[in-house]
Structure formats: C-alpha cells, structure tokens
Amino acid sequence: MSEQFPNDSLRILWDDQGKDLQINDLKELTMNLQEVHRQEQRRLLWLNVQEIVPAIGMFLWFSWQGMQATTRPWAWFAAAATAFGVAAYLGATSLRQHKRELAFPNTTRGELERALSQMAHRANLYRTVTWWYLIPCALGITFVLIAAEVPANAPLTLGYAVFAIAFLAGLYRWNRKIGREKYEPKVAQLSQLISQLGAN
C-alpha cells in the first residue's frame, strides 16, 4: 500500500501513529470510562421514561381520585384512561423501536441505519406530539374539569380553558422546536451518509 504515499518517510510516520496516543493511567482511564458509561446509561434510561413516568403517575392519581369520588367518578376514570393511553402508546412504540434496532447488522451501513431509525423515531414522536400527547392531554384536562364540577362556574371554566390552550400551545411549539433543531438535522445527516454508501 506504500504506493499511496509519495515517500517512505511519510509511510513510516503513518504506521507509527500509535505513539501519539499517550495513556497516562490505564487503570484510572478504565474506571473513568466505566463511570461515564453508567452516566450514559442513566441518561438514556431517563430519555426513554421521561414521558412515560408522568403519564403513569397521572393514571394512578386519576384512578385513585375516581375511586374516592362520590359524584362523577366516571370523569376521573376517563381522565385516567387518557393518561394510560399516552403511557401505553409510548411504551409500545419504544419497545417496537428497540426490537427494530436490534435487527441491524454490526457494520457501518447497519450502524448508520440503526442510528437513522433511532433519530427518525424520536423526530417522529416530536412531529406527531399533537396526536399522542396534546389531544389526550386536552381531553384529560376536560374530564378533570368535569369531575371537579368546574363547568358550573362559567368564568372559571373560561379561565381554565384559556390557560389550558396556552399551555398546550406552548408545549406544541417547544416539542416541534426540539424535533426541528435536534433530531431532524441528524436524520438529514445520516440519510446523506447512507446515500453515500449507495446501493450495494
């Protein structure tokens, strides 16, 4: 392969680059990598459960309220059902995605396709947040208002409605921003890399 280098001294320099990586304390380095790995695992776990945990929490809370309520318990249970729906949807899509990722081979192409699938999944969740989170959330709020008999008080209901709409609109904009700025560029970058690989 030396014909690719214009001279032998460059070839020698090329082959001798291992010395440029200085490991000062291998034991410390290994322990450090273990710690970083643990931190990364915790971060990934949080990323996967950050939306599911509050949804399950709300499901349990609303269910409990429904069991305690003397009037309109159905409204609490309906609110609990919407929270459960969100948690179930996220759980199912996360599991499906996890299975999908396991199927990619351990090659550069496989790794890029796995990363693309992961990023596209996240981008899609942020893009479709209205359907799987905001609408169930709005329904849940409505049921809670019914359960709390707030509709009897028109000005208060109007106040809640305005607050809920502003809150949900804020959530929508925030989620779309994360999807657009964090995940969609990665999807584009990975798609471009895969297109470089071309047809096999």
Partner 1 sequence: MHPNNMRIRVAGNDHQNALFAEWLDNHRGIIVKVARSFAAGAEVEDLAQEILLRLWKSAARFRGESSASTWIYRVALNRALTWQRDEGAAVSRLRPTAELAEIATTDTVDSALGLGRVYEVLRGFPEIDRSLLLLSLDGVSYVEMSEITGLSTSNVGARLSRARARLSQELEADHE
By CB under 8 A, residue 165 contacts partner 1: no
* 42 binds partner 1, rule: CB under 8 A: no
- The reply to whether 101 sits near partner 1 by the rule CB under 8 A is no
Cα–Cα nearest to 140, from 68, 90, 87, 71: 87
- Could you tell me which of 27, 29, 48 has the C-alpha nearest to residue 37? 29
Asked if 14 is part of the footprint of partner 1 (rule: CB under 8 A), the reply reads yes
Asked whether the beta carbons of 47 and 90 are under 8 A apart, the reply is no
**Cβ-based nearer residue to partner 1, 30 or 153:** 30
- Confirm or reject binding of residue 9 to partner 1 (CB under 8 A): yes
186 in contact with partner 1 (CB under 8 A): yes
Q: With respect to partner 1, which residue has the nearer C-beta, 37 or 128? A: 37
Which one of 130-138, 149-157, 171-179, 192-200 is the stretch in contact with partner 1 (CB under 8 A)? Answer: 192-200
Work out which of 106, 152, 154, 155 binds partner 1, going by CB under 8 A.
106
Hey, which residues between 108 and 127 contact partner 1 (CB under 8 A)? Answer: 108-112, 115
- Complex with partner 1: residue 119 or 134, whichever CB lies closer: 119
- Looking up tokens 């001279």 gives 7
Minimal distance, residue 188 CB to partner 1, in Å: 12
Of residues 46, 129, 52, the one with CA closest to residue 90: 52
Show Cβ contacts of residue 82 under 8 Å, excluding neighbours closer than 6 positions: 136, 137, 139, 140, 143
| Interior angle at CA 167, CA 165 and CA 168, nearest 5 | 65
Q: Quick one: which of 132, 14, 117, 23 has its CA closest to 5?
A: 14
Q: For the chain, first and last CA: distance in Å?
A: 25
Binding region for partner 1 (CB under 8 A): 1, 3-7, 9-10, 13-18, 20-37, 39, 105-112, 115, 186, 189-190, 193, 196-198, 200
